[in-house]
Chain A
Amino acid sequence: MTRQVMDPGDVDRALTRMAHEILERNRGAADLLLVGIHTRGVPLAERLATTIERIEGKWIPWGSLDIGLYRDDLDARPKTELGKTEVPEPVDGATVVLVDDVLYTGRTIRAALDALADLGRPERVQLAVLVDRGHRELPIRPDYVGKNLPTAHHERVTVHVAEIDGADGVAIEPGGTP
């Protein structure tokens, strides 16, 4: 049975709080560069950038990163389309905030760090995720979390974003047998 854990209002409030946290931690928006990880990290990065812009009154650069070519499990996964990597400003010297929908094993973020390194040398890299569901397999931790969501391994967390799925929301599905 699917269990709804965040509704559109929850998502919106979480993103707004994360935007404030990003500004607070970095003492403003100077040198900030938000980079969303394909697929659902990209609209989330855009929304964080828009929110920060509203708060600060200043345009924040944001872009997208496809990590399909950096995965360590290519052989095990069905082939997916490659997404676009588009980062509007040089990453050299920037404070890059990687944005993704769900943090799970950490392997996606490891791949994203590799991909980012090929684009340049950021001053620092931070991580913002809408949901942290635990079960890390690598020493990676997020800097900004929308919601911590304890889950079992066999459960599936699905994040919907309005830009792709029509409406925002986070749900847990039972998934396969444990």
Chain B
Amino acid sequence: MSDLVLTGGSVLTEDGVVESDVLISDGTIVEIGINLAADTIIECDGAWVGPGFVDLHTHLREPGEEWKEDISSGSAAAAAGGYTAIVAMPNTDPAVDAGHLAMFIVDRGRSTGLVDVRPAGAVSMGRHGEQLAHLDELWEAGVRVFTDDGDAVADAGLMRQAMDYLATRGGVIAQHAVDPGLAAAGQIHEGAVSSLLGMSAIPAEAEEIIIARDLRLAELTGARYHVQHLSTAGGVEMIAAAKTRGLEVTAEVTPHHLAFDDSMVATTDPAYKVMPPLRSIEHMDALRAGLRDGTIDAVATDHAPHAAHDKDVPFEHAANGITGLEWAAAVVNTVAPLDPVSFYTRMAVAPAAIAGTPDHGRWVAVGNPAHLAVFDPAHEWVPERTVSRSSNTPYFGMALQGRVVATVYRGAITARDGSPAAVALTS
């Protein structure tokens, strides 16, 4: 493989941010210095050069709903957004509750070759919340994150069993924290907006109750516990308190919960229908603060592709979800801007640690695998198209600040200026 040099950027190293060039050869970072040269040059003036982003929460829809997305199209969207590794949610059809399904996803990801695709495994068989999935098989297949995402593990007994089982292995139990009884047929956040719409709603407590319960169980079992798509101020508080007490607890927030409050659903536009629902502005502000101070460890997209006909219906009949891989970094930089170290910590370093992907999320250093995201925090643009197979996103037409200049995966350029690079990859 010919050499690649990233020139003139602000490089995020273990020792802080340095203005430097980065030389890459054979998929590895070989030199950090000035006036470096190579066959291929990417000018990174004004941009940050840091570890490739890692998404803890991607729905790739394969197997089972390939018309919405597949591992190939989802990988391309991820690369376009600066990602070098993504964790695929197991709520496919069939659910990823056994080792061979996890291996299928790893293989498909590898043959696409644009990002590392790491499957998350289901906690329960079929995600039915009744009986533990084949956790050992999944572990052997490389699964490190377990979740019934799409549904909560509602039964406290089952949750305890899963935690007990995985605690010694060190696997992460990730929870879609929505109490099904309290959420019932709820469509949106319970508050002023739902009151005026007369729509069934989900109180913040539906999330907070599950988090409170799970934190006690995490303490009881010693398991690593992760809250997915955190949406409430109460949740942020509980995570902060649990961390203070030394529990191995982490949390993620989605770009849309940082960007929007529930005033967006006042017109019942299904583009804004997500689970958990967009909350009121107080919750949104608490999430932004939590991301800033590190209570929330990671940004995770909850990239959830749906066909047009799943959204072109009345709100109450619409599918939950927003696609976001391609502009997640830009959205975060626009609505909740961070200094470069915090930014790469939330986008890459922390999620890599949770996902258990040691090759990723490493500060730029000689000898490390070349998984890099070059991000220009000042570039202004408006998303207008997508490489995802679905376009259920409210971000089209929205002015964003910050753009992925280049994504480098295994030393090869997988995306330039927000579009997947048309390069043939060899591994």
Indicate if A touches B (C-beta under 8 A).
no
